Structure 1
Amino acid sequence: MTPALLSLGTALPPHVLEQTDAQDLYQAQPGTDRLNARLLRTVFGASGVARRHTVLSELVDHDARKDSPYITGDGRFRAPLTGARNRTYMEEAPGLFAAAARDALARCPAVDPTSITDVVTVSCTGFFAPGPDYHLVRDLGLNPATRRSHIGFMGCHGGLIGLRQAAAIATADPDAVVLLVAVELCTLHLRPARDADAIRGAALFADGAAAALIGSRVPDGCAPLLQLDRFRTLVIPDGEQAMAWTIGDSGFEMILGAAVPQVLEDNIHAALEALLEGPEGAVDRASITDWALHPGGRGILDKLEHTLDLAPEALRESRDVLATRGNMSSVTVLHVLRQVIDEAPPGEDRTVCALAFGPGLTVESALFTIPARPAAPAAHAHSATAVPTP
């Protein structure tokens, strides 16, 4: 019995950071010389990001900077220690976890929250215990016997890892109903950017959340969004130095090397071959109708579009999410999937190839089927839930 995606919800913090404002903020930092300013303009301009969301109101509201531990009143970055940044995560993350989960439940009323048997949470931008898995059981009124697990500190491919884990649970227990929720607060770890790696992170990363309901049995009154057909993992040789995510004294530190697009170009065909071949049977690549790629940056999308010989329209959803929401780490590919599902033409089964990339370098891949469905009214088009300011 193939597990199904029964619902997919999203949530975003209420504060919107325009990319031009973010670039101005970084260029105004003390010690920015002409070379650094030129690098900032180049990287921000080529990022593919137009705007993104953040839990930090002080990044967009000058009046909120008065007592901010992150930024001074005149716009200079402070250097809060990792503990202070993690306290903000503890304050802000639970609300986003709950908002995304409630959006997923609202989209599938046939699933009673008390029927959820398993909770899987994903995050790499903060830690606390009892963690978000515990808070979801409490905040949503789930059965206290609900099984819980957390996928922590995996990186941008964590959303697909979470889907893989949820699908494995539903395959092993056909009566299971799995709630998967991913939340990332990447902007908590922004800092003055001097080197190219830091500038790339400053230009890309954002905050957001997504949640999914997965089960092998489809309840009456629920139309499955996807069949979760197969998953694959590939660790790329010699890619360990290209991307990394470590804990520093003043926040988490991202290494996002300029070589990432080239490393992916050199290895993406091997990852795709592993996905299309296997014990489930071979799949003709020509049968893939839709692509849901994690938009790690415009350079990555450009390189993969060329390497995989894709039409420019093939990655439109990935580019749209990057432009309007930025790189939300593990959350991003779930937002891309939501848009692919919403915009799929009715009346035919469609095959989706999903790809996400994380430290290692590691490629997570999956094949999904969008079941044929009748046309939906335009008013049902997707928009992410915004979490109100506390």
Structure 2
Amino acid sequence: MSPSRDTQNAISNQFGDLNLSITGLGTEYPPHQLDPACLNTLVSRHYPNSPAMDKILMINQYTGIDSRSAIGTVDHPLANMDRAPTIAELCNVFLKDGVALAVTAARKALHEAQLSPLDITHVVSTTCTNSANPGFDHYVCKQLGMTQPVEKVLLHGIGCSGGLASLRTAANLALGSSFRGRKARVLVVALEISSLLVRSELDSVNELQQTRIGVTLFSDCASALVLSNNVGAKGAEPVYELLGWDHRIIPDTEEDLGFDVDPLGWKVVLSPRVPKLAGSVVAPTFNDLLSTLPNLPPDYQNAADFDWALHPGGATILSGVEKAMNISAEHMRASYDTYINHGNSSSATIISVMDRLRQKDMDELAPGGKVKDFIVGCAFGPGIAIEMCMLKRNMNHAKRTLVTTGDVTPPETESEGSRSDGEGEDLETEVKDLKAQGEELGEKLNAVHPEIPEQGDSLSEALNGVELD
């Protein structure tokens, strides 16, 4: 009796031994940190009081983010002109200071992978905060000294899911090389400079009375990794093995999450439906991914059996996935840690989370004190798209750290996003939601950071102190 079509499809859709390894990771945050008070400072300098602005400043206090990484301080010249910077001015800073970050992140990843830039065969890059031609990847390769023929791909229009989408693209390129019997050493680079979009967003808050919360969440970062198909000369041992992935788009959600081009940069679009939509698609994606990986150990069957590297788009994304998958903050400890200390750096964040997760202090916060061998990577982007992958961690890997000196950017040259219609829930409902989210986030911060138990309590108390009448 021949197998059924469904059985044949299931077999053909299963991942075998891909022999793909992440052999190096690098994260480079800029040297400056913006605490919540910095937004208040900018607003007081450039904008009058208004109901919408007051609302943004209130929300800014309750995100759970202690600091957001940025290429400049609150006194950066482009953030303090008599107008918002133009897209051309933003591009100049991106190609100067941003590319410097990306080059440093790439050098870190190459160092750990024990490779020279001349060993790289492919480069896959992504950004949603620049659209220059040639793309920023051209300048990264040039500054790294890549003179050999390199196949380059620059991905755009995929927002916060860009890091994992780039990894998926790199994996398919590497498998194509494996099929041809050729080695592949793929450099993946994600770069976002979001901090200087603040004036454009605040203009919309001021002039149109829109609730644009991207100014409270987004930050700057470059991250990189090296993916090897292990064909050819033996290289560094893997940090992670890439076992498989899944990608899908929730139908008819393109108006819910986006990043629209504007003469003054880009403007974030986020509908109130996003956290619920994101939470609803995680379980079926996870189950389908598991079905393609039949050789996982029997004790890795449920979401809580794995560690999770989730893109920290915002507090509601983190808490929503926790509820949907019945996992704890400890499962996503690196996601919370990154969110608290750096904010949301769009596509670059997920590689930063993967890098952070393998650090010793994160191991100490594992659920029940047990670090998981297998890790689920997950991120959401415009579409709404979900990217998910399965990684196997090499527990014996010893990190090789590239020591750098000095700032990589000149010191003074400096999801969740916003509702674009200026309407939506009234203030009372929104504050109540923030209170509930803040109480949950406070508990999670306590769990992930037991050495500072007062942090979560103070957040909940602050939320409870907001008067609704």
TM-score, scaled to structure 1? 0.87
Q: Alignment partner for residue 182 of structure 1, among 187, 190, 200?
A: 190
1:165-206 deviation digits (Å, cap 9, x = unpaired):
111122221311111111101123222152787531000011
1:297/1:384 CA distance change after superposition, 3 Å: farther
1:11/1:385 CA distance change after superposition, 3 Å: farther
1:286/1:159 CA distance change after superposition, 3 Å: closer
Q: Alignment partner for residue 90 of structure 1, among 88, 91, 95?
A: 95
Paired with 1:336 and 1:303, the residues of 2 have a C-alpha distance of 18
**CA contact under 8 A between 1:224 and 1:371: conserved in structure 2?**
yes
**CA contact under 8 A between 1:297 and 1:327: conserved in structure 2?**
yes
Give the corresponding residue for 1:170: 174
Give the corresponding residue for 1:134: 138
> What are the equivalent positions in structure 2 for 1:224-239 lying under 5 Å apart?
224-239=238-253
Paired with 1:180 and 1:385, the residues of 2 have a C-alpha distance of 24
1:54/1:349 CA distance change after superposition, 3 Å: closer
Which residue type is aligned with residue 17 of structure 1? L
Structure 2 gap segments, 5+ residues each: 1-17, 365-369, 412-469
Structure 1 gap segments, 5+ residues each: none
- The answer to whether residue 268 in structure 2 is matched with residue 268 in structure 1 is no
1:31: how far off? 2.6
1:131-152 deviation digits (Å, cap 9, x = unpaired):
2222233222223311111112
Q: Secondary structure at the match of 1:314?
A: helix
Which residue type is aligned with residue 370 of structure 1? R
TM-score, scaled to structure 2? 0.73
1:291-333 deviation digits (Å, cap 9, x = unpaired):
0000001111111112211123112211110111111000001
Which residue type is aligned with residue 276 of structure 1? L
Give the corresponding residue for 2:229: 216
1:103-123 deviation digits (Å, cap 9, x = unpaired):
1122232x2321111111111
Q: Which has the higher helix share?
A: 2
Paired with 1:381 and 1:318, the residues of 2 have a C-alpha distance of 23
Paired residues in the alignment total 375
1:50/1:196 CA distance change after superposition, 3 Å: farther
> What are the equivalent positions in structure 2 for 1:185-334 lying under 5 Å apart?
185-191=193-199, 192=202, 194=205, 199-217=212-230, 220=234, 222-278=236-292, 284-285=301-302, 288-334=305-351
Q: Alignment partner for residue 393 of structure 2, among 367, 370, 384?
A: 370
- The answer to whether residue 70 in structure 2 is matched with residue 54 in structure 1 is yes
1:314-364 deviation digits (Å, cap 9, x = unpaired):
122111101111110000011111111224759987110011000111111
Give the corresponding residue for 1:123: 127
- The answer to whether residue 89 in structure 2 is matched with residue 81 in structure 1 is no
Most deviating of 335-344 and 353-362 = 335-344
Paired with 2:61 and 2:294, the residues of 1 have a C-alpha distance of 43
Q: Which has the higher strand share?
A: 1
**CA contact under 8 A between 1:198 and 1:254: conserved in structure 2?**
no
Give the corresponding residue for 2:110: 105
1:288/1:163 CA distance change after superposition, 3 Å: farther
- Bigger radius of gyration, 1 or 2? 2
Identical amino acids, percent of aligned pairs? 27
Q: Secondary structure at the match of 1:310?
A: coil
